Amino acid sequence: MLIDVAVCDISAIRSRFILDLVSGGKITSKIIIPEEVINSIRREVKKGNYLILENFSTLKSIAEQVGVNIEIIREDRKVLDDEESVLHVAMSNNYPLITSNENLAKIAKAMGIEVLYGKATKIQGEPIFVKYFNENVMSVHLKEGLMPRGKVGRPGSWQLQTLENKVMDIKELEKIIEDIFERVDEEGFIELDRESSKILMLRNYRIIITYPPFSDRLELTITKKLVDLEIEDYNLSPKLIKRLKERAEGILIAGAPGMGKTTFARALAKFYLRENKIIKTIESPRDLCLPPTVTQYSKSKVSSEELHDVLLLSRPDYTFFDEMRDTEDFKIFTDLRLAGVGMVGVVHAASPIDAIQRFIGRVELGMIPSIIDTVIFINKGTVEKVYELETKVKIPHGLTESDLTRPVLLVKDFETNEVEYEIYVFGERTFVIPLKTKKEEKIIESMILKLLERYLPIEEVTLETNDKEVIINIPSNRINYIAKKCKRKIQRLEQKVGVKITLKAI
């Protein structure tokens, strides 16, 4: 079907659908573009979206080549936005409307306007940036004026390497970005569209684009899901598997950036799917890449109140909250968990105890075990530590007065059941006290005995050990000799193990 004159909206320019129609000879005479559409293009360019300006320039060039006139018209009346403007122009003049906006197409048809709805022909082949990836490249970092670089290796064990011995100029980088935007409607989605940054998902790639002046130069960062593991690949103990099946409903997955937290979260979600659980996720961006039976909610698209209401009323068995960052995230996690929803949160933390401390100050200390029951720390792609939490009324470690009895949060190694930390409130301060485990005490005692065995028979020595001090009981006739010979060695050992070592005559 040939069209003589048509009205074009901004979505058809953005998607390049209008370019396909003009170059294919479908429009023979004129394209009418309301001035408000041009104003919208100008506003997008100010936000850093130069692609739509390039599409418009290409449209003008192609139209000139095929003899199609582009007419920009100004309306005398005041309009609310570009969509209202194109609808009014099309309806008033009985012109067809060309659009790639599905909702606008439906409205136009309901108003009796002839509509030509569609999107640009799907681009064949791989995205341009894929050439930088192989099975060992975790992420690609492209920046104007620098050689392409990439992290090569595995989580926790990678090197930053130059991927191409050629400086990336801005034209080449813009071409790669244009290729991404041309594909995103068919192969992904835009997660965040801010004035100076864009976050997109394209296939299994997470893409971050930053524009000046937010970044000093145009920059493109692309990360790829390297592995797709099952929970069995982590060689978890039968005890932990049983807990995940039967008891764990407030789970924190913690670890440093790039250590494999999201990969483990994906494996855990698939594990719960096999257990016939209803799973939903809160993500920004949505890159867990789970089966379609899992509903993935974008934190960036709705308010916290809406997320809270939807999840509270739909009551999934487990909600996975990927990348908890600010106080509002922790509040949603806490509210849903206390309402009985199983929660799995992913947080950045340098150590397992740091993950728990992220809740201190945001939640009353005594309520934390009701919110978090299992902490799984991921390091270099493996489960390095698992904690369970319990509240007990006792005298905190290091205090002696019976009237100081108070609720104490016990942080226990899940596999050994040994308490490694006590957390309690004293006055207005919260104290996190590390406790030496029996295994660590034995190691320290062994190091002390090995030091002393060169100077006296070990059977003459006894040790008294607590979390802050090791007392070495030595016969009084030998203590001066040992103090003289071992003073510096004992001082160095104190610094190494972090425990005071005292000599005592008996």
pLDDT tens digits along 23-66: 888 898 999 999 999 998 888 777 666 778 888 999 999 999 99
* Mean pLDDT over each residue of the chain, to the nearest integer: 87
pLDDT tens by residue, 153-172: 877 678 899 999 999 988 88
Peptide bond into 213 cis (omega under 30): yes
Produce one character per residue of 65-75: b if its CB has 16 or more CB atoms within 10 Å, e if not: eeebebeeeee
Q: What's the pLDDT at 48?
A: 61
SS (H, E, C) 123-170: CCCCCHHHHHCCCCEEEEEEECCCCCEEEEEECCEEEEEECCCCCCCH
Whole-angstrom distance, CA of residue 498 vs CA of residue 110:
76
Q: For the chain, give the percent of residues with pLDDT over 70.
A: 96
Asked whether 97 and 9 are in contact (CB, 8 A), the reply is: yes
Element (H, E) at 383: strand 382-394
Q: Tabulate helix, strand, coil % of the chain (nearest 5).
A: 35, 30, 30
- Would the pLDDT of 438 be above 70? no
Q: Helices 50-66 and 170-187: crossing angle, nearest 10°?
A: 90
**Between 24 and 376, whose confidence is greater?**
376
Assign 261 to helix, strand or coil: helix
Q: Is the separation of the CB atoms in 197 and 231 below 8 Å?
A: no
Q: What are the distances in angstroms from CA 254 to CA 148, 231, 344, 383, 421?
A: 31, 16, 11, 10, 17
Whole-number Å distance between alpha carbons of 222 and 238: 37
Q: Name which of 19, 42, 50 is nearest 175 in CA terms.
A: 50
* Distance of alpha carbon 429 from alpha carbon 66, whole angstroms: 76
pLDDT of residue 81: 84
Read off the pLDDT band of 467 (50, 70, 90): low
In the predicted model, is pLDDT for residue 74 greater than 80?
Answer: yes
User: How many CB atoms neighbour CB 491 within 10 A?
Assistant: 11
Domains of the chain: 3-117 (3.40.50.1010), 128-224 (3.30.450.90), 231-434 (3.40.50.300), 438-505 (3.30.70)
Q: At what angle do helices 50-66 and 35-46 cross, to 10 degrees?
A: 140
Output the pLDDT for position 361: 82
Structure confidence at residue 231 as a pLDDT band (50, 70, 90): very high
Radius of gyration of the chain from its Cα atoms, rounded to whole angstroms: 32
Alpha-carbon distances of 38 from 9, 34, 210, rounded to whole Å: 10, 7, 24
Taking the C-alpha atoms of residue 187 and residue 106, their distance in angstroms, rounded to an integer, is: 23
Q: Tell me the average pLDDT across 144-149.
A: 94
Whole-number pLDDT of residue 122: 65
- Indicate whether 419 pLDDT > 70: yes
What's the rounded mean pLDDT across residues 98-111? 92
Average pLDDT of span 233-261: 91
Predicted confidence (pLDDT) at residue 226 exceeds the cutoff of 70: no
Q: Is 274 helix (H, G, I), strand (E, B) or coil?
A: helix
For the range 385-392, what are the long-range contacts, defined as Cβ-Cβ under 8 Å and sequence gap of 24 or more? 385/352, 385/413, 386/240, 386/413, 386/414, 386/415, 387/352, 387/353, 387/356, 387/411, 387/412, 387/413, 387/414, 387/420, 388/243, 388/412, 388/414, 389/356, 391/366
Residue 185 has pLDDT above 80, yes or no: no
Greatest CA span in the chain, whole angstroms? 112
CB 499 within 8 A of CB 436: yes
Q: Which residues contact 220 (CB under 8 A, 6 or more apart)?
A: 129, 140, 141, 142, 143, 173, 176, 177, 207, 208, 209
Q: Which carries the bigger pLDDT value, residue 327 or residue 300?
A: 327
The H-or-E segment that residue 364 falls in is none
Distances (CA, A) of 349 to 67, 154, 259, 376: 61, 19, 11, 11
pLDDT at 489 (0 to 100): 85
Mean pLDDT of 78-101: 89
**pLDDT at 99 (0 to 100):** 93
Token output for 192: 């965040």
What band does 203 get if pLDDT is binned at 50, 70 and 90? confident
Condensed to tens digits (0 to 9), the pLDDT of residues 252-285 reads 999 988 888 988 999 999 999 999 999 999 987 7
45 alpha-carbon distance from chain centroid: 28
Q: What is the pLDDT of residues 305-358, one digit of tens each?
A: 888 889 888 889 999 998 888 888 899 999 999 988 999 999 999 889 999 998
Question: Residue 429 — very low, low, confident or very high, per pLDDT cuts 50/70/90?
Answer: confident
- Provide, rounded to the nearest whole percent, the portion of the chain with pLDDT above 90: 38
Question: Is the pLDDT at 79 greater than 80, yes or no?
Answer: no
Q: Is the pLDDT of residue 437 over 80?
A: no
| Dihedral, 435, 418, 378, 329 alpha carbons, nearest 10 | -80
